[in-house]
Structure 1
Amino acid sequence: MLKFKSIEEAVVAGVKSIATNCIKSGTVKKLIYTGTVVASSPLKDDGSGYKDFIDETCCTPLHLPLTALHKEYADSKTLAEKELLMRYGKDENESGRLKVVSLDIGLVGGDALLSYMSASVAVLISQVKDNEALHQSLKFVEDICGKIPLVHVDDVCEAHIFCAENPSINGKILLANSYVSSVEITNYYRQNYPEFKLKEKYLEGPNREIKWASTKLIDEGFVFKHDLRMILDDSIKYARRIGDLSM
């Protein structure tokens, strides 16, 4: 059994193994890696704050003062994507046999087929559940990305298919169609689901003027079918369906 010194080393090794075996197969023409926007932070490398925008040119600095769990997650995802794109993502790379797409996905909401609560939706409705631990994970995404990039699970599925079927798509792509603050999410729940009586503390948060500047997927012709309202409403619907919300 292979032994690794860290989570980061294990994740990078896993990505390298997948890409290497795709090339060895001789039949795989495109590798679509499901990444995360946590690897695409608009934070400046010198620690002086945020850029004015977030897009595919952004990459999360590795020296951020995060909790151990969040740091392992952010660093491992960032390093894995760097390895994948630098080693294998150069115009069909050295072998000439493999295209690489890294889909950096936002926080996923919406109604899922699962019979249990998905981790991402649990984070997204943390204010409704008054779950402070999960809300810290929501704030982690907000602090890394400036605001919270959101995407509906159905659009995530469609985007994977779209990237697989479109031969011109390669490289890094951010996948989200809403970019909002945690306070904006709280306000939506308070206005549309007053029965949950969200606490005032969730109305406290940063108001950062950072723009979502990623248009790469849309420029290729992809159409998002679910807006912010649908993402949040379907998340509540899902939680109610599986009995995670009593009202």
Structure 2
Amino acid sequence: MTHFLPRFFHPAIGGCQYKNTAEAALDATRVILQQCADSKTVKRVIHTGSMATSSPLREDSTGFKDSIDESCWTPLDVDYPHRSAQFDEYILSKLLSEKELLGYSAGEDSPAFEVVTVPCAVVAGGILQGHPTGALNFVVSPVTRDERYFVALRRLQRLMGSVPLVHVDDVCDALIFCMERPSMSGRFLCSAVYPTLADIVDHFAGKYPHLDLLKETETLPSVQAHSDKLGELGFKYKHGGMQEILDGSIECAVRVGCLDAAKLNIQE
């Protein structure tokens, strides 16, 4: 097979000339678009993105917009509490690659294929892997008391004005929905619910009153979505409640071993 020929390993062994992950992601996106166009058979490109690119922060640093929707793009020059250079680079790579994809359709008079981007909320509720994902660790961090992951939730709350959540099953269904549409293009946020970090902690506090949870100490805004582009096309979330997603995340955390089930039970 051709991918075992020695010459195909040369670019990787020769080294990477990219200055950062954002530059590499952007170039990879351009290569994929070109290869799809060259194939003459690709009809639609569907990109699974991150809602971290969709912050409703105002560009003039005066707080949040009234709601979050597909027109929101994270303003990289606006500061916010708990900001980190590592997360900035993650956002930049996701943002540049998504804009490059959407720009393909906008920049072509007769594009060879449709482009759909699906920026996803924090994917929780369950996993197939035998080990915890970063998103799962984030969601259950108030219960596990893992400060590293809890600060990521605090960071997201201050970037997004909420902690958008979606069940992993709904993400899969949304992508299939995008594949099966006769025609579809553009940007479609994928989030079932927009709780605040305080809402999440309050749910866990009510469920496990005996536990000493990590808590949000500040009163923060709650930014919601006032529209649902996927829903307008007929897509429905099967797991649309915060409680269901959070409880499923706890069950999953127990299953993969990052949370002790005995800790959740009230000791007599």
- Per the normalisation by structure 2, the TM-score is 0.86
SS in 2 for 1:194: coil
Identity %, equivalent residues: 37
**1:224-243 equivalences in 2 (<5 Å):** 224-226=237-239, 227-243=241-257
Note if contact 1:110-1:153 (Cα within 8 Å) is conserved in structure 2: yes
Runs (5+) with no aligned partner, structure 2: 1-10, 262-268
Q: Among 91, 97, 100, which residue is 1:80 paired with?
A: 97
Deviation at 1:85, TM superposition (A): 0.8
Deviation at 1:118, TM superposition (A): 1.0
Structure 2 match to 1:35: 49
Determine whether 1:122 maps to 2:137.
yes
Runs (5+) with no aligned partner, structure 1: none
Structure 2 match to 1:158: 173
Larger radius of gyration: 2
Structure 1 match to 2:17: 3
Note if contact 1:104-1:175 (Cα within 8 Å) is conserved in structure 2: yes
Aligned partners of 2:49 and 2:181: how far apart in 1?
19
User: 2:106 corresponds to which letter in structure 1?
Assistant: K
**1:93-108 equivalences in 2 (<5 Å):** 93-108=108-123
Deviation at 1:94, TM superposition (A): 3.9
SS in 2 for 1:90: helix
Structure 1 match to 2:105: 89
Structure 2 match to 1:136: 151
Note if contact 2:161-2:220 (Cα within 8 Å) is conserved in structure 1: no
SS in 2 for 1:211: coil
Deviation at 1:64, TM superposition (A): 3.5
Q: Among 155, 163, 168, which residue is 1:148 paired with?
A: 163
User: 2:213 corresponds to which letter in structure 1?
Assistant: L
Note if contact 2:194-2:223 (Cα within 8 Å) is conserved in structure 1: no
Deviation at 1:213, TM superposition (A): 2.3
SS in 2 for 1:175: coil
Compared CA separation, residues 171 and 41, structure 1 to 2 (3 A): same
Aligned partners of 2:244 and 2:59: how far apart in 1?
35
Structure 1, residues 6-40: CA drift from partner, whole Å, max 9, x if none?
22111111111112111111111000001011001
Structure 2 match to 1:17: 31
Compared CA separation, residues 83 and 96, structure 1 to 2 (3 A): closer
Structure 1 match to 2:6: none
Note if contact 1:174-1:214 (Cα within 8 Å) is conserved in structure 2: no
Aligned partners of 2:173 and 2:190: how far apart in 1?
11
Aligned residue pairs total 243
Structure 1 or 2: more strand by fraction: 1
